[in-house]
């Protein structure tokens, strides 16, 4: 169905993006260059309105949904890049909730940050998303919108990249009134003295085996950060309410898991016990901590678990808050990703390949920051 040009313009203006400009000519894009513009779309294929999904919740205006479905290809926050990007916004059928589902947990890892792009150890350094990272959040929002997920309460870390991801998701899904809780216990793993260092240069300085041990070991932390460093969280006022003894100087994955679990038990479990749908927008390693606990994953297996960016992971929990295994789950997880298997595999491979490029050697999951 053809859409009048003026209507397309009006729809574009409804999308909550930054620095949006409607242009009518092709914009050249060089490698890893992301342009915050939207190319005008001459026609949109409408999806039939699906007013209610398995959970019985109203869907949003299908005109805007149709626009969102094509924008990741024509570009929402960016026009694109020379490296291939996964089209995760493809329409996915609404899944029926299991009959014994008591609560829903949605886990979402933030997209590319400025320091990810620069190949720097990030950890607790508070850097923002790149345009690509915003795109990934928008794609995640679109798939959640298609699934008809209505969020009751959301949780995120004290780091901008996770907060931006959550903000984009709530805006695009028209759920900006959802209560949001921010807590330092959901922060990424603290990379200690490696924070801010270039990854390839760190390998050259300390050797591949040593850096691999810091990254891939479950219980070996990197060197501690100096408390005089501008990257030590104790020098940041947003951590002034935390006992200095609790602010880490460096963390291994084991430390991150142990840091996250008290917040899970004290803040998220009560909401889930009330049957709420909970969204957690966080980081690769803090999400690993929650998954290790939920699915009882071994120390060895959790370090190699790839958490792709921008793909929501859904868990239905029973009245005892035990995961209900999904037929679409991919071991060792029992929840399901809002992506088809091909797209999921491609996303996980992309995460691993990025590690290889950043370190100049074989990648691992536990380096995701």
Question: Which residues form the catalytic set?
Answer: 110, 188
Cis? peptide before 248, omega within 30° of 0 = no
Rounded-to-integer distance, Cα 146 and Cα 150, Å? 11
Q: Which residue has the tokens 């699934």?
A: 147
* 256, two tokens: 């991150």
Closest to 133 measured CA to CA, from 170, 166, 92, 181: 166
Spatial neighbors of 39 by CB under 8 A, at least 6 apart, are 23, 26, 27, 74, 75, 79
What is the separation, in whole angstroms, between the first and last Cα of the chain? 43
Spatial neighbors of 119 by CB under 8 A, at least 6 apart, are 198, 199, 200, 357, 358
Rounded-to-integer distance, Cα 315 and Cα 327, Å? 12
Spatial neighbors of 342 by CB under 8 A, at least 6 apart, are none
* Under 8 Å between Cβ of 108 and 291: no
Q: How many Cβ atoms are within 10 Å of 354's Cβ, its own excluded?
A: 18
Q: Strand 103-109 to strand 277-282: parallel, antiparallel, or no bridges (unpaired)?
A: parallel
Name the H helices within 196-328: 199-206, 208-216, 253-263, 269-273, 284-295, 299-302
DSSP for 18-43, please give it: SS--EESS-----TT-----EE--SB
Q: Strand 103-109 to strand 38-39: parallel, antiparallel, or no bridges (unpaired)?
A: unpaired
Checking phi first, is residue 118 left (phi over 0); if not, alpha (psi -120 to 50) or beta?
alpha
């Amino acid at each position: 169905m053809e859409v009048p040009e003026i209507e397309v313009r009006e729809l574009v203006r409804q999308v909550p993006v930054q620095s949006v400009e409607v242009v009518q000519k092709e914009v050249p894009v060089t490698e890893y260059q992301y342009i915050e513009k939207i190319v005008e779309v001459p026609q949109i294929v409408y999806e039939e309105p699906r007013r209610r999904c398995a959970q019985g919740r109203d869907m949003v205006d299908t005109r805007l949904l149709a626009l969102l479905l094509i924008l990741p290809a024509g570009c929402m926050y960016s026009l694109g890049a020379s490296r291939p990007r996964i089209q995760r916004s493809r329409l996915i059928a609404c899944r029926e909730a299991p009959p014994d589902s008591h609560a829903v947990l949605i886990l979402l890892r933030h997209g590319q940050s400025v320091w990810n792009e620069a190949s720097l150890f990030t950890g607790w350094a508070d850097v923002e998303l790149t345009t690509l990272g915003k795109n990934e959040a928008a794609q995640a929002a679109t798939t959640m919108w298609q699934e008809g997920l209505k969020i009751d309460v959301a949780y995120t870390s004290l780091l901008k990249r996770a907060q931006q991801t959550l903000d984009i998701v709530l805006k695009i899904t028209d759920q900006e009134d959802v209560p949001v809780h921010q807590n330092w216990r959901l922060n990424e793993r603290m990379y200690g003295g490696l924070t801010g260092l270039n990854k390839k240069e760190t390998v050259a300085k300390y050797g591949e085996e040593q850096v691999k041990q810091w990254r891939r070991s479950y219980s070996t932390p990197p060197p501690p950060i100096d408390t005089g460093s501008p990257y030590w969280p104790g020098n940041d006022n947003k951590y002034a309410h935390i006992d200095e003894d609790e602010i880490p100087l460096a963390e291994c994955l084991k430390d991150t898991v142990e840091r996250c679990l008290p917040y899970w038990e004290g803040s998220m479990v009560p909401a889930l016990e009330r049957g709420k749908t909970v969204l957690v927008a966080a980081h690769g390693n803090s999400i690993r901590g929650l998954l290790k606990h939920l699915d009882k994953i071994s120390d060895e297996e959790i370090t190699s678990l790839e958490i792709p960016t921008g793909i929501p992971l859904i868990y239905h929990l029973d009245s005892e808050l035990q995961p209900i295994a999904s037929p679409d789950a991919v071991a060792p997880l029992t929840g399901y990703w809002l992506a088809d298997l091909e797209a999921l595999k491609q996303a996980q491979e992309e995460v691993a390949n990025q590690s290889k490029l950043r370190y100049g050697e074989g990648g691992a999951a536990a380096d995701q920051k």
